Structure 1
Amino acid sequence: MTNSQRPYGNHRTPLPPARTPANGVPSPRTENNPRTENQESDRPAPSGKQRDAFFDNAKYLAIVLVAVGHAWGQILDDGAVETAYRVVYTFHMPAFVVISGYFSRSFDLRPKHIKRLVTGVVVPYVVFETAYSLFQRYGNDDPDHGITLLDPTYHLWFLCALFVWRVTTPLWKTIRHPLPVSVALAALGSVSPQIGDDLELQRVLQFLPFFVLGLLLRPEHFQRVQRRSVRLMSLPVLAAAAVVAWWSVPRMKLGWLYHSSAAEELGSPWWTGPVMVLATLGCSLLLTACFFAWVPRRHMWFTALGAGTIYGYLLHAFLVKAGNYSGWFDHPVLKEPLGVIGLTVFAAAVVTVLCTLPVQRALRCVVEPKMAWAFRQDAGEAARNRERLGNTEVRARGEKVPV
């Protein structure tokens, strides 16, 4: 965090020496690294700054589950598929939201953070909301479908939610009991059908506790869920979750897992809203812990892909929608076990390709634009950049940097 007592200029209080994290702890990136402030900024880490393999692995595995879940969502006539779908939908977005909160801990309303919020969240939302609206109009032969930025298409609700959560981060870091307050807001949202669909505010409220939880977590919390005992306990928990999901197929509406509707909109009495919100939040938290328990902490073949998950997230739904428009998901082969397996592998492979470096390079101009032309440069930041550049040149000449 920035020390407001510290004057800017050449005479700055030296930082304390960095401490080596405990063995196995997924340590956060340094506070000055933009990656801790914007989970959506997935550019490769600068030279000398190590990315955390644990979180990159978690992000990649979560985006694979998102893509697979969206593919399964088109063929829910099969009871086994819907059971797996319900289990995945209980924790895959909560895991994403927890990670987003964790890397938003240093966010405040300084100009550089606002710039990253605009370029990493607002601009991609506007670009892709427009693109998906046009795809709906022309790809689905729907000339009446207009472009609106208030009604997010499909999966783009997450960017709206992330914007609201990030802007309110200083509030959650200031109040005394942020987690109970966020849970209370989620419960109140479930009894308020008048909230409507604008900016998916129901989801903003009902997923809010996971973001606030991420703000409160520390590296040691992730170390605890990585213990062998937790991994072993997670196996019966996942088995029990599958049984409950199978039992709930004819008895519980999927809308409770989407967190996008109030209780009355789901045909239930208003008082069931808070009850179901608390129950689903508890189940989601338990399965999210099980998910983190099995995320590898070492570098894997897919670790580097964790830097591009926002690309996979934004792009994969084009294929899902194209399949719907063309009737591809109605093919008889997808009603067979081998067809379902093939669809699962295909969805995982496609989103993997969409997270690769060539895709990032091709679309960085709209997913992570710099947009220096759109912002005023802070005089203090410009002076520090000049100082840093000067010190680099001095080191390059082999001279000692003046203290």
Structure 2
Amino acid sequence: MQQRDQAGAGRIALFDNIKGLLIILVVVGHVAHPVHNENPAISCLFDVIYLFHMPLFVFVSGLFAKHAKNERGGVNPNRIISFALLAALFQLALLLINEVDVTLESFLQFTSAPWYLLAMAYWYAAAPLLARLGWRRGMVLALALSYASGFVDLSDGLLAISRALAFLPWFAAGLYCPVESVVALKESRSRAVRATLAVAVVVSAAVVLARVLDAHAYDWFFQMVYGDNPYRALPLDLLGKTVSDVLALVLSAAVLRLVPSRPTRLATLGRRTLGIYVGHRLVRAWLTFRTPLYEQPVLLDPLWGTLMILALSAAVTVVCAAPVLTDALNRILRHRWLPEAGRERG
């Protein structure tokens, strides 16, 4: 039976473990970003991480969005307001640390980590419509919008519209998928289910190995994994987007198979993802623009540079996992801006 984490009432350890793993990958990806083109080992790790970490993160976000409803069964607008406010504050803080002139144009260009919080506001706002449509029509609409988004060049990050649309199917899939179904899939004794998950692990290993052996293995489709690049070569980019989505699904299934169901240290990080997500990106910005760290040649060394990036990622994760940071951000997230909207259930 799926174990619940006693440190968090009613929390399922499996999902906290998954979120814990994903937030580590988010930190590694962002800490590695300034040197990922010059360090071949970091480049390989970066590419593998970006194949699946955000689609799975968005799916898990959708999975639990259904528990943030008001008394009438609709999504509480307080969450929408809170996510939008957090995104705005996050964006402003990054601009200031990066020493970018704060103008209306720069403020509206969500090209970095704050995009996810703004997208969450959009996805929560869309949840009632998706619920009314039902999963068949809702997924068709989400996929249509996701694929259509590539026909418009919004790579400047304008209000995170492109990424919000690109990753919408993953949020919708989580919204429609019962939590119990994912747990049942993980714990299934069915030979067919277990074999399918095992195949996902093998295929994922092959996909990773292909990138290890050939630095250009992902080149033809990789621009599609970010969600904000328009189509530039049709129909190849449409195929590339499909391939990137399929690979994200396969690697996500492998994660489900490999991540433990029992409470682990990953679960602790999984309960503090908001603080880590916001905090680590601010730290990375400060290290990039206010220190000479990323100018050090040693970071380009495949062995020592990679070890330093991983060690720095671990240190940043630990620091940003301090409960005080997540607690402060959660107070904003759970604030009742509109008391008449009703009390949230979860």
Work out which of the residue numbers 100, 103, 108 in structure 2 matches 1:150.
Answer: 108
Deviation for aligned residue 1:330: 2.6
Match of 2:294 in 1: 329
Work out which of the residue numbers 271, 276, 279 in structure 2 matches 1:312.
Answer: 276
Distance 1:368 1:104 in 2: 13
8 Å contact kept, 1:60–1:305 = yes
Distance 1:171 1:248 in 2: 42
2:149 is the alignment partner of 1:182:
no
Cα 1:51–1:260 shift into 2, 3 Å: same
Uncovered stretches (5+) of structure 2, i.e. residues with no partner: 189-193
Work out which of the residue numbers 162, 173, 176 in structure 1 matches 2:120.
Answer: 162
TM-score normalised over the length of structure 1 = 0.73
* Paired residue type of 2:269: L
Work out which of the residue numbers 130, 153, 157 in structure 2 matches 1:193.
Answer: 153
2:304 is the alignment partner of 1:338:
yes
Work out which of the residue numbers 199, 223, 243 in structure 2 matches 1:279.
Answer: 243
2:260 is the alignment partner of 1:300:
no
Match of 2:228 in 1: 260
Distance 1:324 1:253 in 2: 29
Deviation for aligned residue 1:226: 5.2
8 Å contact kept, 1:206–1:277 = no
CA-to-aligned-CA distance 1:186-237 (integer Å, 9 cap, x gap): 1111122268631121111111111111112122234324555455434422
Match of 1:79 in 2: 40
CA-to-aligned-CA distance 1:284-342 (integer Å, 9 cap, x gap): 11111111222221111342332211010011012222232234123122122023123
* Paired residue type of 1:375: L
* Paired residue type of 1:345: A
Report which stretch shifted further, 325-334 or 227-236. 227-236
* Paired residue type of 2:143: V
Match of 1:207 in 2: 167
* Paired residue type of 1:66: V
Distance 2:268 2:287 in 1: 29
2:185 is the alignment partner of 1:224:
yes
* Paired residue type of 1:263: Y
Distance 1:80 1:302 in 2: 25
CA-to-aligned-CA distance 1:218-276 (integer Å, 9 cap, x gap): 22234324555455434422221113434363733743221111112xxxx24333222
Work out which of the residue numbers 116, 128, 132 in structure 1 matches 2:90.
Answer: 128
Matches within 5 A, 1:318-397: 318-325=282-289, 326-336=291-301, 337-361=303-327, 363-364=328-329, 367-368=332-333, 370=335, 372=336, 374-377=337-340
Cα 1:184–1:25 shift into 2, 3 Å: farther
Match of 1:24 in 2: 2
Cα 1:358–1:159 shift into 2, 3 Å: closer
Distance 1:87 1:226 in 2: 26
TM-score normalised over the length of structure 2 = 0.84
Match of 2:58 in 1: 97
Identity of aligned residues (%): 23
Cα 1:61–1:194 shift into 2, 3 Å: closer
Distance 1:194 1:345 in 2: 35
Uncovered stretches (5+) of structure 1, i.e. residues with no partner: 1-22, 28-43, 382-403
Cα 1:298–1:25 shift into 2, 3 Å: closer
Match of 1:171 in 2: 129
Match of 1:31 in 2: none
RMSD: 2.8
Deviation for aligned residue 1:72: 2.0
Cα 1:145–1:94 shift into 2, 3 Å: same
Greater relative contact order, per chain length (Cα 8 Å cut-off, separation 6+): 2
Q: Which structure carries more helix by proportion?
A: 2
